A and B are shown apart, each in its own frame.
Chain A
Amino acid sequence: MRKKKLEPFTIVSIVGVGFFMVLCVVPFWMIISGSFTAESKLATTGYSLIPQPFSTAAYEMIFTGPTVLEAYFASIFITVVGTAMSLAATSGIAWVIARRLPGISRPIAVFAYLPMLFSGGLVPLYLLVTQYLHLQNSYFAVILPLLVAPFLVFIQVSAFRQLPEAILESARIDGAGEWRIFFRIVLPLSKPILAVVGLFYAVHYWNEWFTALLFITDVHKYPLPLLLQNLIQNVSFSQMLPTTAGQSPPVYQLRLALTAVTIGPILLAYPFAQRYFVKGITLGATKG
């Protein structure tokens, strides 16, 4: 099977994959490089591959004013609290479904999967959150509508079902209650899948801007993506940001710097986290 000789198709493959890799890397490099390039150059070329002339003006602005730090706080709050709540809710329902309890598990499974087939849509959700729950300008308006993703429940159910029954049985014989089994045995044994599901939720919350766009109007509560969107769509928004000694702010550079700051955490965590994502998708795709 293994041949030492390189076949044409293998060469084409290496070139093809390499090309796609370049396409995936270059845009991010342009963002990062551009964010360190002086405004005067960005205004004429619109992008930059080499940060020349070098400038950190945008980053200085970002980290001295409160606006971006507030947005960072909002995003971190939504991500951390949201992921914790989502993990708790998802593990709970997934365990109940995975247990195959007669008369309980199946109705709950149908109940959880049905919303994947039919949804009420945007308008009822909007009315619910704004008119009845009154969650406008609360971080929970971003967290709660996304709390449980049926797809991730599905992944976790199939992972729970792979736990060795013998361990659970022996715990039962030793007299452990159901909750104790769940918290002391099931959850600690499921750390890898909890990491996978938690990471999916975390990325989702970090990137979420649609619910924020709908429900958050107070600038001081904007999460990062929403702040970024406002900065792209209207230049005058940058007037909100602090200026140094009456100079006009480097708007274009600021856009790129804010983008870099938004993808930064994902970019940093990615090398450590990516194998979990691959595992998660493979697990979700493989027949449980």
Chain B
Amino acid sequence: MSALQTREVRRAASKPKPAAPPRRQKPLRGNLWVGLLALPAIAFFVVFAYLPMVGLVVAFKEFNVADGVFGSPWNGLDNFRYFFSSGEAGRILLNTLLLNTLFLAATLGAGITLALMLNEIRGRFFKRVAQSTIFFPYFVSPIVISIILQVLLAGVGGSGGAVNDALAGFGLPTVDWYTQPGPWPWILTVVKVWQMGGYLSVIFLAAITSIPEEVYEAGSIDGASRAQMAWRITIPLLRPTAAVLLVLGVGRIFYGDFGTIYAIVGDNGTLFPTTDVIDTYVFRSLRQLGDFGTTAAVGLFQSVVGFILVTAAVLIQRKYAKESSVL
């Protein structure tokens, strides 16, 4: 629609052309001149975003370094066949969907809960300190998170660990966490909540702040408690914002959070059954096996499915965004 508008504006602008030709020329040249400011970023996008898209032809080739991307022989869909018949495809796709669903539900839930709770706090100083504190983990490198987890679960030297000490303190059996794949989806979910909870609470708090005060005044005149107001006024009014974030999250469900998962799990094969996702698989097969063709095929599959999901998400999000005060 805006493209149409732009075109109309241009047509309108070109109409007085015969009347004042010299005036017409200057703004256009001026525009191109301003456009030059975008040149560095455009060069970046061409080289690092669009050239790699062309490079995806590797997915249909039997790549070898000597012949390069364009010289290597084609091999049709062999790379895709190889991946989907490897027996790992099902597990990896399932892990990706399962972990991301868990992360999405837990982080959104935590974000809303924290925002509601922060909103209850009246002391301005405490509120600011609290918000800064819970926001901090967002800025920490995944590598640091992985060290923290090691300290908590296994001890920095591979023996002891704070969690096991606590378990022992309550008379519970200790767990050798890094050899048990079972609990890892939950451990990673806790990590994600820890990492993203504060960030999301900032967004939700911004949405809460934009709710008009009168709504709460009406509630308080009707004798509603703070809890009732949170449950019956704030949460329903946050729904559009949550819907937007949810839809965007679902759109990105095919992209694992590579950084965090790889930093924590690394090449610890015992944990792969529950933690290996598309991104970590792609990375490992690239680094360890040097299998460019298959890896590119998996990447292409991920990009295509991801593109469909993200596009659908953006279209749905536009619908909800009209109702949401933020985003």
Real binding pair: yes
Contact of B295 with A by CB under 8 A: yes
Q: Which of A92-122 contact B (CB under 8 A)?
A: 92-93, 95-97, 99, 101-104, 106, 108, 111-112, 114-122
SS class, residues of chain B in contact with chain A: helix
Nearest Cβ in chain B — how far from A11, in angstroms? 9
Whether A9 lies near B120 (C-beta < 8 A) is yes
- A115 with B32, Cβ < 8 A, contacts A122-B283, A266-B139, A287-B327 known: no
Contacts of B42 in A (CB 8 A): 93, 108, 111
A-B contact count (CB 8 A): 326
Whether B135 lies near A93 (C-beta < 8 A) is no
Inter-chain CA distance A85–B287, complex, in Å, is: 29
Q: Mark B98-119, 1 if CB is under 8 A from A, else 0.
A: 0000000000000001101111
Contact of B89 with A by CB under 8 A: no
State which of A46, A106, A124 has its C-beta within 8 Å of the C-beta of B296.
Answer: A124
Inter-chain CA distance A119–B203, complex, in Å, is: 27
Q: Which of B275-302 contact A (CB under 8 A)?
A: 279, 282-283, 286-287, 292, 295-296, 299-300, 302
State which of A18, A92, A102, A128 has its C-beta within 8 Å of the C-beta of B40.
Answer: A92
CB-nearest residue of chain A to B314: A117
Inter-chain CA distance A252–B132, complex, in Å, is: 30
Nearest Cβ in chain A — how far from B71, in angstroms? 11
Contact of A45 with B by CB under 8 A: yes
Contact of A169 with B by CB under 8 A: no
Q: Mark A148-188, 1 if CB is under 8 A from B, else 0.
A: 10000100000000000000000000000111001000000
Contact of A145 with B by CB under 8 A: yes
Contact of B134 with A by CB under 8 A: yes
12 further A-B pairs in the complex, CB-CB below 8 A; given A153-B41, A262-B141 = A10-B226, A28-B148, A31-B148, A42-B156, A95-B37, A104-B32, A121-B296, A131-B68, A178-B30, A277-B139, A278-B131, A281-B203
A–B pairs, 11, beta carbons within 8 Å = A20-B114, A30-B152, A46-B162, A93-B42, A123-B299, A124-B299, A232-B147, A252-B156, A266-B140, A278-B202, A282-B203
